[in-house]
Amino acid sequence: MRILITAGPTREPLDPVRFISNRSTGKMGFALAQAAQARGHEVTLIAGPVTLPTPDGVTRVDIETALQMLDAVECHLPAHEVYISCAAVADWRPAVYSPTKLKKAGMDGTIQLVRNPDILKTVRPLKDNKLFVGFAAETGVPDAEATRKLNEKGLDFIVANDVTAPGAGFATDTNRVTLLYPNGTREDLPLASKLEIATAIISRIEQLRSVTDC
Ligand code: C5P
């Protein structure tokens, strides 16, 4: 299969030296790319600003902002059967970008923000029979919020986790996730390395594809 994966944070610049971003390191998305490639899939990895090496055999596209990530997803999605949206896309960006460094004296302590587009929702019309998988990083029990996102974004399943749980979250090498499906099925995966979790997610995708293909 051809699998498109987004990973890492996006970075929303205010001026050439300042930006809004989040704590995502890209580890889960890069593990997915590595696991998918190891299973023999063709992988395109759209990455926000992270310091990770590109997994062998993976085609990487680097972007910085949410709008650039949206452009890259719209460009690459048609050539893929699966889209895994693992990126921590910034929900907001500064309304105005200053091409020169903003001076403290000229700022009044407020930054006006505008909403970034929801990439999954924007590309939903391109879904056809592609498989879409999303992530929901929550604080606390993720189920209710993750189920809302699963339905709202029209996903085939969502990978939910509590980023405050021991061994889970952004900069760790391990994760503990729950897979939630539109029919209400849930599957708790035990605490494991991000690569093991990624391999389990890719195998669920393979199972779903083989059912759809019959
Ligand atoms: O940020 P949120 O919790 O809504 O993320 C849920 C899912 O939606 C993730 O898979 C994320 O990659 C995706 N998303 C997106 N565009 C955004 C925000 C999130 O595609 N602007």
pLDDT (tens digit per residue) in 104-161: 888 888 999 999 999 999 999 999 999 999 999 988 888 899 999 999 999 999 999 9
Query: At residue 92, what are phi and psi to the nearest 5 degrees?
Result: -130, 155
How far apart (Å, rounded) are the C-alpha atoms in residues 76 and 89? Answer: 17
| pLDDT attached to residue 104 | 86
Instruction: Give the distance (Å) from ligand 1 centre to CA of residue 87.
Output: 7
Ligand 1 closest atom vs CA 134: 10
Beta bridge partners of 180: 158, 186
How far apart (Å, rounded) are the C-alpha atoms in residues 80 and 83? Answer: 7
Instruction: Give the distance (Å) from ligand 1 centre to CA of residue 138.
Output: 12
| pLDDT attached to residue 211 | 67
- At residue 213, the 3 state secondary structure works out as helix
Q: Whose CA is nearest to atom 3 of ligand 1?
A: 136
Which long-range contacts does 204-210 make (Cβ < 8 Å, 24+ apart)? 204/157, 204/179, 205/1, 205/3, 205/82, 205/84, 205/131, 205/133, 206/1, 206/39, 208/131, 208/156, 208/157, 209/1, 209/81, 209/82, 209/131
pTM of the model: 0.95
Instruction: Give the distance (Å) from ligand 1 centre to CA of residue 134.
Output: 7
User: Is 22 designated active site?
Assistant: yes
- At residue 126, the 3 state secondary structure works out as helix
CB 12 within 8 A of CB 92: yes
CB 174 within 8 A of CB 194: yes
Q: Check 22, 116, 151, 161 and give the catalytic one.
A: 22
> The CATH number of 2-98+110-213 is which of 3.40.50.10300, 3.90.1150.10, 3.40.50.970, 3.30.365.10?
3.40.50.10300
| pLDDT attached to residue 212 | 60
Pocket of ligand 1 (CB under 6 A): 66, 85, 87, 89, 91, 116, 118-120, 134-136, 149, 153
- If you search the block for the tokens 């890492």, which residue do you land on? 8
| pLDDT attached to residue 141 | 83
How far apart (Å, rounded) are the C-alpha atoms in residues 64 and 168? Answer: 25
- Which residues in the chain land under pLDDT 70? 211-214
Ligand 1 closest atom vs CA 145: 3
